Structure 1
C-alpha cells in the first residue's frame, strides 16, 4: 500500500501554539478545523502506515477532542496490545514521544505481575529488559508503592520492581526536521520494536 503519511506540516506547531495555556472556547473553535487537518489527521495517517507495515499494531485509536485544554494541546494515539497493555504516541509542542505501558490493571493482573517479578527466571528477564531500555534513553516510571508488597522480602533482589503497580516506559523523540517527513513511520516502527521485548514479557506473564 502507498504510504499516506507525509510528515506533520510545520503549521501544526503554529496551531498548537495558539492553543497553549488556557485557550478560551472561542480560540478552540477557531482552531478546530486547522487542528484537525494539521495535527490529528497526520497522526491518523501515521498510525495507518505503521499498522500497514506491521499487523501487530492494527488495533489503534487516535483521540479526538474533549473539554479539558490538555486534549487540544496534545494529540495521543494508542495501540492496544493486550488488556491493560498498550503502546502510545503523543504529539505536541515538544514534538513526538513514545510510550509503552502496563497500567490501570485489575487486582488479578497485579498479582500475576508480582509473582512473575518474584520468580528468579521471569523476574530477572524483566529487569534485564528494562535495563536495556534505560541505556537507550527510556525513562521507567509508574505507580510505585512505598513498601514492598506483603508476602515478599523487603530485601528481595527486585524489590523496586515489586513495588510497581503500573509500569510506564517513555522516550521523547524531539521535534527536529524529520518530523516533517515520511521518515517518522520508520522511526516509530524502530522504537516500537525496541519496546517489543517488554510488551512480550507482559503479554506472556501478566496480560494473559
Structure 2
C-alpha cells in the first residue's frame, strides 16, 4: 500500500510507557509533542492510506491529545463513520492494533428497527450467519444487553440473544508483531475492515437508514 504511512516507530511504545496509568500533568506536557509525532500522526497516516484503498473509509477522525479520556493516555483511537451511530474503529496501544465495528448510542427509533430486523426471518437469519462467521474469524461480539429476554418475545426465540442487544460491537486484536512498524499494518486494517463489512452493511441497511 502506497502513501505516507510507514508504520509506527519503535519509539512510539517508549512514549506510551511513559504515559502509563494516570500520569501527572508535567509528564503529559513533556510527552505531548512526542505522542503527537510518534503515536497520533502514524494513525492519521494509516487512516489516509485506508481511505486511499477504499473511498468508503474517507470520513474518519483521530482523537487528539486533548480529547483523550483520563486514564487512556496509552491508547490512540480513531473511527471511520459509515452512517449514523455506525462506526469502524482502530486502536493502537502497547498491545498493538485492534479493529472493530460498533452500532451504539442509538436513539430509540434505531433500537426498534434493530429488533424488528432481528425478529424478521430473512434479515434475522442473515445477521445470525454474519455474527457466527465473525466469531469463527476471531471477533468478539459484545454490546449493551437487556438483563432479561426482550419483553413480548418468546423465551425460545431462535435469536433471543441478539434481540437483547441495545448496541452491537465486534472487535478483534490484530497483534503487535514486526509488521506494525511497516506499511503492512494498513493492509491488515483494510483486510479486517473487509471482514467487518457484512455486519456494518447489515446495520446500515436495517438500522441506521435515514
- Relative to the length of structure 1, the TM-score reads 0.97
1:48 and 1:70 mapped to 2: Cα distance?
Answer: 27
Aligned to 1:121: 122
**Matched ranges for 1:127-142 at <5 A:** 127-142=128-143
2:110 and 2:69 mapped to 1: Cα distance?
Answer: 30
2:96 and 2:70 mapped to 1: Cα distance?
Answer: 18
Residues 25-76 of structure 1: CA distance to partner in whole angstroms, max 9, x if unpaired?
0000000000000000000000011101100000000001236433421100
Give every structure 1 segment of 4 or more consecutive aligned residues whose post-TM-superposition deviation is greater than 4 Å.
none
Aligned to 1:5: 5
Kept after mapping to 1: 8 A contact 2:22/2:73: no
SS of alignment partner, residue 61 of structure 2:
strand
Greater alpha carbon shift after TM alignment, 136-145 vs 150-159: 150-159
Aligned to 2:61: 61
SS of alignment partner, residue 100 of structure 1:
strand
Aligned to 1:171: 172
Aligned to 1:197: 198
**Matched ranges for 1:89-128 at <5 A:** 89-128=90-129
Aligned to 2:19: 19
Residues 148-171 of structure 1: CA distance to partner in whole angstroms, max 9, x if unpaired?
222211211000000000010000
SS of alignment partner, residue 73 of structure 1:
coil
Kindly tell me the number of residue pairs found equivalent between the two proteins. 208
Kept after mapping to 2: 8 A contact 1:16/1:93: yes
SS of alignment partner, residue 72 of structure 1:
coil
2:71 and 2:2 mapped to 1: Cα distance?
Answer: 33
Aligned to 1:207: 208
SS of alignment partner, residue 73 of structure 2:
helix
1:87 and 1:76 mapped to 2: Cα distance?
Answer: 11
Report the alpha carbon displacement of residue 2 of structure 1 after superposing the two structures with TM.
4.6
1:183 and 1:123 mapped to 2: Cα distance?
Answer: 36
Kept after mapping to 2: 8 A contact 1:64/1:71: no
The answer for unaligned runs of 5 or more in structure 2 is none
- Relative to the length of structure 2, the TM-score reads 0.96
**Matched ranges for 1:46-57 at <5 A:** 46-57=46-57
